[in-house]
Structure 1
Amino acid sequence: MSGPPRLFCFHHAGAGTSSFARWQRVFGERREVVPVLLPGRDARAAEPRITDPGRLTAELLDTLGPLLDRPYALYGHSLGAFVAHALARAVAGHGLREPDRVVLGAALPPHLPSPLLPAAFPPDHELLRRLVAQGQLPRAALEEGEDGVWHRRALPVIRDDLKLAAALRAAGGGPLHVPVLAVAGREDTVAPAHQVRQWRTCTTAGFALRTVAGGHFFVRDGRLPVLLGEELDAWPHTSPAAVRPQSSSV
């Protein structure tokens, strides 16, 4: 099937696809942006959320499989990085077209502990405090009661998404055999660049690190799609053997 290469985008915990709403304008006709909405939120709010890696990959292969008919790349942010990583491994195992490049943003590789994921998930009030302290929820969430919107709507989604992230990290798996680009926010204390760089051990096909201004949620800023456009536009002219561990700031 003819058409531009696709870029599948996977959101962070507790989110939907709004972070990617303006990306198509940036890429124009060069690449088709495909934001992927996990069940249990926004237009899929009536569907049960997924916390099991096997069920997740089955869902993604079923819904996205027909769209892998042309060259594509994956971008995942925080939780979405592990979703993208799992999908890249799953398509290889099912003999489907593999991505040209996997881009992992604001996430630590599975072999490093993540400050976002507690050893045991605490009660709602404690989890809420942790999320506010980490900047995932506004401070106003601490001021509302248990019947407030953050408790009733946001917290259950984030809790299940964090469980999914923990399960995906635990599932691990062997290295990818496609090139990986990792992106870190220069002010991100949750996934700092020197640790994000460790994704280089998770691929056999070349690795690069880029840094952008911003904290853990730099996906909401306008610079990231510009960076990805530059990287992905240049990629067809770069051989995998030429991509070695490196870093740069934008």
Structure 2
Amino acid sequence: MSGPLPPRLFCFHHAGAGVTSFARWQSVLGERAEVVPVLLPGRDARVREPRITDPDRLLDEIMDRVGPRLDRPYALYGHSLGALIAYTFARTVEAIGRRGPELVVVGAALPPHLPSPLLPAAFPPDAQLLPWLVSCGVLPAEAAEAGEGGIWQRRVLPTIRDDLLLADALRRTGHSPLRAPVLAVAGREDHIAPAHLVEEWRRYAPAGFGLRTVPGGHFFVRDRPLPELLREAVHGLGAVFRPESSTV
């Protein structure tokens, strides 16, 4: 018999981003989990594909890509927008009777019932959106200083706008609790999703809840403390799983 297969860790990225934030995670998690970044269309290798702003279409997309890989224990990690995606996906697979996650980890995100400073009632027009995102700490200062027609206007702005529209739509899809335990992670210098508000994910986790803080601001996903924390969080999730065909 071969040894147990590790659980999978499906990772969902933040608004305007791709999966590069997760590039080094496998080396940190080692044999504790198989890291599976989930790239949404409209960026990186999928840049020519239409972006998604509709939750139903999003769930169809994720199920097509992830569904066949729910054949062993798994956890979810989502960062900011990705946290809403992870929560919505977990709620959906639980509702339809598919194998649910062993653990849902939400990072740098407020729960759906709380208003987010990144999701105002009306988004600023394009000419004001980049400076507004800079003032929120989402983009670096040079984004506001870039001229019209530059890379920030042509590539970054449309993706972020659509991703924020998706995040706003996901917040409206429901606020039901999960069957899986939830671990919420907050950056100690994050003013967008501070720890005392991130802690309110507790109401979605009757099966168990934990709150952890890590160094950094809203984009602590890029730093090593987060995958190190996840390495411990997923330890043991798949310890007893062996595929039926694991005979020699």
Report TM bin, short chain: over 0.9
Greater relative contact order (Cα 8 A, min sep 6): structure 1 or 2?
Answer: 2
Cα distance in 2, alignment partners of residues 164 and 31 from structure 1: 29
1:103 is aligned to 2:105:
yes
1:219 is aligned to 2:221:
yes
Q: Which amino acid counterpart does residue 202 of structure 1 have in structure 2?
A: Y
Equivalent residue in structure 1 for 2:67, among 65, 68, 73: 65
Match of 1:13 in 2: 15
1:191 is aligned to 2:193:
yes
Q: Which amino acid counterpart does residue 83 of structure 2 have in structure 1?
A: A
Q: Which amino acid counterpart does residue 203 of structure 1 have in structure 2?
A: A
Match of 1:26 in 2: 28
Equivalent residue in structure 1 for 2:129, among 124, 127, 130: 127
Match of 2:58 in 1: 56
Cα distance in 1, alignment partners of residues 45 and 107 from structure 2: 24
**Unaligned ranges ≥5, structure 2:** 240-248
Equivalent residue in structure 2 for 1:77, among 53, 74, 79: 79
Q: Secondary structure at the match of 1:33?
A: strand
Percent identical pairs in the alignment equals: 67
Q: Secondary structure at the match of 1:178?
A: coil
Match of 1:156 in 2: 158
Shift of 1:236: 7.2
Cα distance in 2, alignment partners of residues 171 and 146 from structure 1: 35
Shift of 1:30: 2.1
Compute the TM-score of the two structures, normalised by the length of structure 1: 0.91
Match of 1:144 in 2: 146
Residues 122-151 of structure 1: CA deviation (Å, up to 9, x unaligned):
101211111111222121112222211000
Shift of 1:93: 2.0
User: How many residues in Structure 1 have an aligned counterpart in Structure 2?
Assistant: 236
Cα distance in 2, alignment partners of residues 227 and 105 from structure 1: 12
Shift of 1:16: 0.3
Shift of 1:234: 5.6
Shift of 1:233: 0.9
Cα distance in 2, alignment partners of residues 142 and 185 from structure 1: 24
Match of 1:92 in 2: 94
Match of 2:246 in 1: none
Cα distance in 1, alignment partners of residues 126 and 64 from structure 2: 33
Cα distance in 2, alignment partners of residues 234 and 211 from structure 1: 22
Cα distance in 2, alignment partners of residues 144 and 193 from structure 1: 33
RMSD (CA atoms): 1.3
**Unaligned ranges ≥5, structure 1:** 238-250
Residues 39-70 of structure 1: CA deviation (Å, up to 9, x unaligned):
00000011100001111111111111000000
Cα distance in 2, alignment partners of residues 51 and 107 from structure 1: 18
Compute the TM-score of the two structures, normalised by the length of structure 2: 0.92
Cα distance in 1, alignment partners of residues 215 and 5 from structure 2: 32
Cα distance in 1, alignment partners of residues 228 and 203 from structure 2: 26
Match of 1:47 in 2: 49
